[in-house]
Amino acid sequence: MASTAATKSNDLVSRSGLRYRKIRDRIVETFLLAAGLVAVFTTLAIVVILLTESAAFFDHVSLKDFLTDTMWTPLFADAHYGILPLVAGTLTTTIVALIVAVPVGTIIAIYLSEFASHRLRETVKPILELLGAVPTVVYGYFALTAVTPLLQMLMPELPGFNMLSAGLVIGLMIVPYVASVSEDAMRAVPRYMREGSYAMGATRLQTALRVVVPGAFSGLAAAFILGISRAVGETMVVAIAAGMQPNFTFDPREQAATITAYIVQVSLGDLPHGSIGYQSIFAAGLVLMLITLIFNVIGFSLTRKFREAY
């Protein structure tokens, strides 16, 4: 027993042992680096795939038609390739969702961060995070079977598929998300700033609105941008509850397809690889990525501009 331990420790300090361990370290490091590069390759692959398939699409469709035509019917005999109806649908559901999520999420975040007791906050926060994990297809079921009938009681002429119900449910879905991220941002505002404000005689609400919110503004902007990205990219709720007919309108009471719903609709059918319909979903995906990118750039510049350093 003792002798094996001795040889082992000899092995550890001997030159050949050391060299072996150093070589092993290099090999392991290479593997770890390769794993890290998977993330980079994923991004590259997304860009390359979207661009090459879209390029094939734009061989058939002129960019002018794509951006100005107000009809999107790639699978019909009379094919039109105007992306505007899909973009309109995406923006409408997103705006409805944000009208719900931004005020409600922010108020909940302010309440949790500035007013709630420690215990309430520690109970509610995990619940909020749990809600973020609910599969979106379940939210789609809510939109179609609970929210739409409820809205139809208020607005009898509302069709069975409509963007209002989808947007409201997406809003409800991202409230926990916006609230949780905003609350983190507000809690990062240092204590002494609040105390300074209280010392000047401000109430909690005044401190929250005039000191904490401006101080956490860059974090709040980031939360809203994350919320927007989620709403823009949300697929199942709109595919289930908003209908899949492209419809160039900004009226949330109508049914319309979003970019994501169109991709789902095409994928449900069996389109041959390389057909124009197949390529069109990549062009739609590219537009989706660009919209997300634009919002992220706006968010990034906002956070840069309003960043407060303590």
**Positions 215 through 244 that interact with other proteins (CB under 8 A):** 226, 229, 232-236, 239-240
Residue whose CB is less far from other proteins, 37 or 251: 37
- Alpha-helical (H) ranges within 61-162 are 63-68, 84-110, 118-131, 136-142, 148-154
Nearest to 294 by CA among 138, 106, 91, 101: 91
Buried b (16+ CB within 10 A) or exposed e, 115-137: ebeeeeeeebbeebeebeeeebe
How many chain residues are in contact with other proteins, going by CB under 8 A? 83
Q: What residues from 89 to 148 belong to the interface with other proteins (CB under 8 A)? A: 104, 107-108, 110-112, 115-116, 124, 126-127, 129-131, 133-138, 140-142, 144-146
d(CA 66, CA 59): 12
Minimum Å gap between C-beta 205 and other proteins is 5
Which among 101, 88, 98 has a CA at the least distance from the CA of 291?
88
Say how far apart CA 144 and CA 132 lie, in whole Å. Answer: 20
- From 204, 302, 303, 306, residue interacting with other proteins (rule: CB under 8 A): 204
Task: Choose between 176 and 252: whose C-beta lies nearer to other proteins.
Answer: 176
Residue 150 to residue 176: CA distance in whole angstroms: 22
Nearer to other proteins, 183 or 254 (CB): 183
Q: Which of residues 235-294 bind other proteins (CB under 8 A)?
A: 235-236, 239-240, 260, 263-264, 267-268, 270, 273, 281-282, 285, 288-289, 292
Q: Which of 36, 153, 156, 272 binds other proteins (CB under 8 A)?
A: 36
Q: CB-wise, 251 or 292, nearer to other proteins?
A: 292
**Under rule CB under 8 A, which residues in 171-200 are in contact with other proteins?**
172, 175-176
- Paired with 81 in beta bridges are 72
Q: Toward other proteins, which CB reaches closer, 158 or 266?
A: 266
Residue 104 CB, shortest distance to other proteins, in Å, is 5
Provide the total of helices (H) and of strands (E) in the chain, helices listed first. Answer: 15, 0
